[in-house]
Chain A
């Protein structure tokens, strides 16, 4: 089975940095994904890590440590539109099925 943990809520100020941690215990590993989901909308793909290290995409970066079963998503220069739920998902031994954490709701305040 898959066990994926992330904090329920985080609050940060516009322009600041927030780091969302995700820990996982899974039967097999074939990639870790981060998705952003605004209320009432579909999840949208943010990042993908399969090897250890940092992947940077503009204001968003994602880090993976496979030996520790740990990832984080770093959001820099926060904007009000970044207020959303951020979902951590792990792909197991197969190459298709994702198991999601419950999501972290980030609230950006002015």
Chain B
């Protein structure tokens, strides 16, 4: 297993367009998280899945954002009608229930909205 994979690494889009990011977690990990990080800040929690169930969504996640994990494996994060304020690094992480240590992060998708 090569860790958590995210695709694409970089995305430039025009304001108003929709974008979708994919995350492939570590295969045996049943928990998956999405975070957003802007320059000079720490990651901010967006949402969390345990298996295929989305158990928590941050109020940061407006109705333009939707995340899915259809079979409890990979996940997608879609942003509709992108705005310049959506420009950030979108980080995916995964972990195993009962494992006390922190999660494993992917390398992130850097979104630039022009």
Please state if B104 and A45 are interface contacts (CB–CB under 8 Å): yes
Q: In whole angstroms, what is the CA distance A42 to B104 when docked?
A: 9
A98 close to B91 (CB less than 8 A): no
A100 contacts B105, C-beta separation under 8 Å: no
Contact between A100 and B48 (Cβ–Cβ < 8 Å)?
A: no
Q: How far is the CA of A100 from the CA of B103 in the complex (A)?
A: 13
For the complex, what is the distance from the CA of A31 to the CA of B103, rounded to whole Å? 13
Assess the A98–B44 pair: CB atoms within 8 A.
no
Q: Which of B21-52 contact A (CB under 8 A)?
A: 31, 33, 40-45, 48, 50
Verify A97–B107 contact, CB threshold 8 A: no
CB-based A-B contact count at 8 angstroms: 54
The answer to whether A87 has its CB under 8 Å from any CB of chain B is yes
Tell me the residues in window 19-50 of chain A with beta carbons closer than 8 Å to chain B beta carbons.
Answer: 31, 33, 35, 41-45, 48, 50
Whole-angstrom distance between the alpha carbons of A48 and B95 in the complex?
Answer: 14
10 nearest CB pairs, A to B: A100-B42, A42-B105, A33-B102, A45-B102, A42-B107, A43-B105, A48-B101, A100-B43, A102-B42, A87-B42
